[in-house]
Chain A
Amino acid sequence: MIVDQLILPLLMVLVTLSVGAYIVAVLDRLMAGAFGAPRGGNVWLAPLTRGAWLLTQHANATEAPDWRAWRLAPALYLALAAIGLAVMPWSASLVATDLVTSVVLWGSVEALATVVIFLHGWSANALLTLIGGYRYVALGLSYILISMFVLIGVALPAESLQFTQVVASQEGLWNVLRQPLGLPLFLIVGLGMTFWGPLDLADSTDLAGGTASEVSGPPRLVWDIARAAMLVAFSGVATTAFLGGWLGPWLPGPLWVIVKMLAVLSVLLLLGRWLPRLAPERCVTLMWVVLLPLSFLALVWAGAVALWE
């Protein structure tokens, strides 16, 4: 029983975390090549050699950082990604933590991610990192409502706040079709949580790397891994909430989950390479004035469909 309920889920989460982060790095390199910014070198080896390089590089320090917070922030971000993977079911029975309120728990992971990213920018006590951290809070506080709306939308037909129930409710029709606005909105949340591509307000080029601009060596490696792992965790949750999780013909459930996660990851990385970085002010306005009303609409739609069924 210990093996079933403790060791197996634990291993699953850890393996997904590390392999997933690696796959994100590989996929992103492939995307970069497709978008005209080839990196050279072996696509499969490059993430690993880069990791090895960061392990050998010395860690930087600033003059008077908040040491504990600075070193804790990347590790906490990684831990949050692990929690995200823990609530995501691989099949009807294979899930690390099948909490009754796992949808809300994922919401709190999103909120806590904002805290951790802010802390990463704040604790270095340097100008560019500070601006990056504060910019991210503007984004983090804006996407959280959108995420709440679309996730409540998927909870309606499931009549539950449990991700396994959410998948079970998609037996007839996946939520991506039943609630067509949900997934696109949720993908934007994903880009925001990992400050990826167009929503990279925290670690942007105009801030010379933003919250990471003063970080080198192992802490930077953990930060990069955590960011990629969070993207994986997000794709897992998106798969669960909108793409029917383990449901699908022919293949076994967990395999379907992997296929769908890869599809979500590809779309996210594609968007990341395709779109320019949003201006922070414009981003906040866009979230509140355009996307929030759209997520209202998504919820009303979801409600109407749930009643009609």
Chain B
Amino acid sequence: MAVNWLRKFASRSAATVFPVLGRQGEAALHRLALTPGIELVDSPRHASVLLVAGEIPADRFEPLRRVHDQLPHPFAVLWFRSEPWPHLEDVTRIDALDALPEALIAAHRELLLGRRDSASRILPDEPPNPWEGLGDFGQGGEGMMGGVPYGRPMAMNMMDDVRDGLTLDSLSFRLGPFYPGLPPGMAAEITLQGDLVQMWSTQLAPYPRALDPVFFAARERPVPIAELELARAHHHLRRLFSALRLAGLEGASLSALRLARELSPGSRLDGLRRRLVRSGFFRLSSLAGGALEAEQARQLGGPAARAAGLDDDLRSQDDGYRRLGFAPVTQSAGDTRARWQQLLAEIEQSLQLARRAERDKACTERMDSIETPRGPWLEQLPQDGSSLLDELMPGLEWGDALATVASLDVAAAERSLGEAPA
């Protein structure tokens, strides 16, 4: 009886959702972040609902099984625009974005009221290595460091630290592809000593990021610059959202998202910028490091290159833009801090251009070269640049490393899945 009452009461709590993102699943994330009554959490241990948003490629099934089994009992699983695995019992699939928040809240409530069974585990209940009864004391270990005590070997290392040369243990692990601090779909094999990255090798590239259809239209016909620039600002603002969330500025991150949602030529960035400057984001946060060299910057292109001092911007070759008085903005430092300053400046510039373009009814004139928010698009769309991180990460502290990843738009660009390819 008492338990029943407790569960009834608990069912009124916010639905705690751990999102596992598939291709172009970010739309669901951005929607849910702005929905009251839903709390997006960073660890599956803090969640009651696992949301699989977007189609998961087959090479990420195994990690998904692992995350699926890491939610504590009781938990529910929802598949959004994604085909549930056939062997699962009573799965819920949702396709309408508008129905998603309601479905999540309902799943959480039903779970707690006992009207819905907790999802069953997928993986067999076995330790990573058999250990029970093995070894010197039956704990699976041998001698001082040998064996697999409790199912895992102990860390042992003879590699000198990259900074002070001490030979202490390093920890190697694979992170992602569903780690909320990394771009969706990205996985890397990382070696740490202390909290400093010693080695980083990107194993799975992040999912290509959907470009707004207007960029594809611009390859075929002149499009209004206002529309193009708003799409650009929209793209940047959504990246700002994840970075600010990572930096612990939840309120500001949501304002960025809200600004993106209600974006119009009349929108102003001043409020958000003032808020970031006054909160000391540029001075206090983990923004040191991640400086790109000229060659790296050129390869990556886009705002990251301009933050490193290159003034490459295909928009300056377009007469439509030239008439609006466009000139690329640049920073010089090329590090994480400079990239955020650059991004803010570019959003402001885009909004300004959009205002002017709307007034002048300006349209693009060149169709063979488009500057996308991710970088230049000449013959082909901007390609994946995540291998760049392998050079950039070693030597960075964990917080700086993740902030650097967030500040670099390394994912390839692709057509939004909603529209048919031309």
Are A217 and B72 also in contact (CB < 8 A) when A205-B42, A279-B399 are? yes
Q: How far is the CA of A218 from the CA of B37 in the complex (A)?
A: 22
Are B45 and A205 interface neighbours, CB within 8 A? Answer: no
Query: Per a CB cutoff under 8 Å, which of A63, A131, A277 touches B152?
Result: A63
Are A276 and B179 interface neighbours, CB within 8 A? Answer: no
- Whose C-beta in chain A lies nearest to the C-beta of B288? A279
Query: Per a CB cutoff under 8 Å, which of B14, B181, B279 touches A50?
Result: B14
Query: Per a CB cutoff under 8 Å, which of A60, A205, A280 touches B397?
Result: A280
Are B251 and A276 interface neighbours, CB within 8 A? Answer: no
By a CB distance below 8 angstroms, the chain A residues around B248 are 197-198, 200, 204-205, 276-277
What count of chain B residues pass the 8 Å CB interface test? Answer: 64
- Whose C-beta in chain A lies nearest to the C-beta of B36? A40
Min CB distance A126 to B, Å, is 10
Q: How far is the CA of A37 from the CA of B10 in the complex (A)?
A: 22
By a CB distance below 8 angstroms, the chain B residues around A277 are 247-248, 284-286, 399
Are A276 and B397 also in contact (CB < 8 A) when A40-B37, A217-B72 are? no
Are A36 and B46 also in contact (CB < 8 A) when A205-B181, A275-B284, A278-B285 are? no
Q: How far is the CA of A111 from the CA of B178 in the complex (A)?
A: 37
Asked if A227 lies at the interface with its beta carbon under 8 angstroms from chain B, I say: no
Query: Per a CB cutoff under 8 Å, which of B6, B42, B287, B400 touches A209?
Result: B42
Q: Which of A35, A53, A207 has the most CB of B within 10 A?
A: A53
Interface string of B1-36 (1 = CB under 8 A from A): 000001101111110100000000000000000011
Query: How many A-B pairs with Cβ below 8 Å?
Result: 170
Q: Which of A204, A206, A280 has the most CB of B within 10 A?
A: A206
- Whose C-beta in chain A lies nearest to the C-beta of B180? A208
Asked if A273 lies at the interface with its beta carbon under 8 angstroms from chain B, I say: yes
By a CB distance below 8 angstroms, the chain B residues around A278 are 284-285
Asked if A72 lies at the interface with its beta carbon under 8 angstroms from chain B, I say: no
Are B13 and A276 interface neighbours, CB within 8 A? Answer: no
Query: Per a CB cutoff under 8 Å, which of B7, B13, B72, B192 touches A58?
Result: B72
What count of chain A residues pass the 8 Å CB interface test? Answer: 53
Are A41 and B36 also in contact (CB < 8 A) when A49-B9, A60-B45 are? yes
Min CB distance B44 to A, Å, is 9
Are A208 and B254 interface neighbours, CB within 8 A? Answer: no
Q: How far is the CA of A273 from the CA of B287 in the complex (A)?
A: 19
Asked if A220 lies at the interface with its beta carbon under 8 angstroms from chain B, I say: yes
Are B397 and A213 interface neighbours, CB within 8 A? Answer: no
Min CB distance B242 to A, Å, is 10
Are A276 and B400 interface neighbours, CB within 8 A? Answer: no
Q: How far is the CA of A217 from the CA of B249 in the complex (A)?
A: 26
Are A208 and B42 interface neighbours, CB within 8 A? Answer: yes
Q: How far is the CA of A57 from the CA of B11 in the complex (A)?
A: 11
Query: Per a CB cutoff under 8 Å, which of B14, B286, B403 touches A46?
Result: B14
Asked if A32 lies at the interface with its beta carbon under 8 angstroms from chain B, I say: yes
Are A273 and B398 interface neighbours, CB within 8 A? Answer: no
- Whose C-beta in chain B lies nearest to the C-beta of A55? B6
Are A213 and B13 also in contact (CB < 8 A) when A37-B251, A127-B171, A273-B251 are? no
Q: How far is the CA of A206 from the CA of B175 in the complex (A)?
A: 12
Are B48 and A53 interface neighbours, CB within 8 A? Answer: yes
Min CB distance A116 to B, Å, is 20
- Whose C-beta in chain A lies nearest to the C-beta of B179? A208
Asked if A52 lies at the interface with its beta carbon under 8 angstroms from chain B, I say: yes
Q: How far is the CA of A258 from the CA of B48 in the complex (A)?
A: 36
Q: How far is the CA of A56 from the CA of B3 in the complex (A)?
A: 9
B residues with CB within 8 A of A:
6-7, 9-14, 16, 35-39, 41-43, 45-46, 48, 72-74, 112, 127-128, 149-152, 171, 173, 179-181, 192, 194-195, 244-252, 254-255, 258, 279-281, 284-288, 397-400, 402-403
